[in-house]
Amino acid sequence: MTAYAVPVVNSRDDVLRTALTILRQYGLADLSMRRVATELDVRPSALYWHFTNKQALLTAMADTVLSGVLPRSDRMRWDRQLERLALDLRAALLAVTDGAELVSISQASGLSSAAIGDHFVAAARRGGLSARDATAVRTAVWQLVIGLTIEEQTRAQMAGIGALPPSDREFDREFADGLALILDGARHRLPAS
Amino acid sequence: MTAYAVPVVNSRDDVLRTALTILRQYGLADLSMRRVATELDVRPSALYWHFTNKQALLTAMADTVLSGVLPRSDRMRWDRQLERLALDLRAALLAVTDGAELVSISQASGLSSAAIGDHFVAAARRGGLSARDATAVRTAVWQLVIGLTIEEQTRAQMAGIGALPPSDREFDREFADGLALILDGARHRLPAS
């Protein structure tokens, strides 16, 4: 079958799985609707049955990447819960080529149905923070994860094509220290008890 | 003169200025060495006299974008100084299309000579924080600025091409609240006096 045959309408999961395979192998810059269609041996127009545009596909991909990041037991202390969520989020992003950039784009679109941001807020609220302070915690933690991991994955990509040597930065330590500082700020916001 | 004439070796500033003009008008995705060369009416090879590769050009562009972000008077309180630097950094990124992504790439390369990160550390040290805590402050503030501003500029770009409506998020407020939380964490790290 060529790309000019009657398009087979693949399942939404087929499209998503193929897009994620392309991402893992080649990165975000090489991901296009056309490329996904070619891999599936259908016309690009066949994809729009499932995803109205590339943005919708990227968001679904990001939500898939984030699907395993879930709150742990509520018996865990709220600040430990926040730390755990942040570490799990970072691990999920690092597991996929350009994972952090993908999720940043998805967040920018406002279309994501991933609930991690809500989990951050819920944990901070459970600790006793006001709604506004809990949102501030989410913002600071989220952008620490996204910003630092984008840098780390960009550098890995530069090293991968031989443009630069691998970085000697200790990203995990930078992350842990930044996160600990933010959590100190969060604990500092607790109403005096 | 065509692109096939004997290449005129433009000054380094010409190349940099042209690249920044392309960035401002079209964004990072449309910036290539070829595009810059075409604008300057020279062969791409003429650019490598000044910049060994695109990465070097991007870093020089980022350093130019950041060149106006400088510490204020040391008579300013250290935490106020940090806040001011963070606000100035964010404003500098917002002033250029894809400014945050450009600076993220430049930071990933490790080639940047911009000293803003050092200014963050210096301000925190002046306040009395340990070297490690001061570095943690830099990490958390830097990634808040970069991560959030990447999201904001990505959304602006989506809105610009009509893919999505403008965001109703209050990015400035998200930023201010996240920053205040981090600075609370920083003050919390001061040795008890």
Domains of chain B from N-terminus onward: 12-51 (1.10.10.60), 70-188 (1.10.357.10)
- Closest-CA residue to B148 (of B67, B82, B75, B89): B89
Q: Which residue of A has its CA nearest to B109?
A: A155
pLDDT at A114: 87
Please give the structure tokens belonging to residue B16.
Answer: 């940099």
Q: What single DSSP character describes residue B61?
A: H
pLDDT at B1: 47
Q: Which of A53, A136, A177 sits opposite B136 (nearest CB)?
A: A177
Contact B182 A146 (CB under 8 A): no
Contact A148 B163 (CB under 8 A): no
CB distance from A103 to chain B under 8 Å? no
Most A CBs within 10 Å: which of B79, B150, B152, as the mutation test of the A interface? B150
Q: Are A147 and A92 in contact (CB under 8 A)?
A: no
Q: Which residue of A has its CA nearest to B140?
A: A178
Contact A184 B185 (CB under 8 A): yes
Q: Which of A53, A146, A177 sits opposite B135 (nearest CB)?
A: A177
Q: What single DSSP character describes residue B8?
A: P
Q: Alpha helix (H) ranges present in A51-130?
A: 54-66, 78-94, 99-109, 116-127
Dihedrals phi, psi of B12, to nearest 5 degrees: -55, -40
Chain B neighbors of A155, CB-CB under 8 A: 108-110
- Distances in whole angstroms, Cα of residue B10 to Cα of each of B6, B19, B41, B47, B63: 12, 13, 10, 8, 20
Smallest CA–CA distance, residue B170 to chain A, in Å, is 12
3-class DSSP state of A130: coil
Please give the structure tokens belonging to residue A95.
Answer: 């597991």
Q: State how far the Cα of A148 lies from the Cα of B143, in Å rounded to an integer.
A: 6
pLDDT at B3: 52
Chain A neighbors of B180, CB-CB under 8 A: 136
Chain B neighbors of A158, CB-CB under 8 A: 55, 108-109
Report ipTM (2 d.p.).
0.92
CB contacts < 8 A (A, B): 149
Per-position pLDDT tens, chain B of length 193? 455 555 555 799 999 999 999 999 999 999 999 999 999 999 988 899 899 999 999 999 999 999 999 998 888 999 999 999 999 999 999 999 999 999 999 999 999 998 999 999 999 999 999 999 999 999 999 999 999 999 999 999 999 888 888 899 999 999 999 999 999 999 999 987 5
pLDDT at A162: 87
CB distance from A86 to chain B under 8 Å? no
Per-position pLDDT tens, chain A of length 193? 455 555 555 789 999 999 999 999 999 999 999 999 999 999 988 899 899 999 999 999 999 999 999 998 888 999 999 999 999 999 999 999 999 999 999 999 999 998 999 999 999 999 999 999 999 999 999 999 999 999 999 999 999 888 888 899 999 999 999 999 999 999 999 987 5
Q: Are B22 and B61 in contact (CB under 8 A)?
A: no
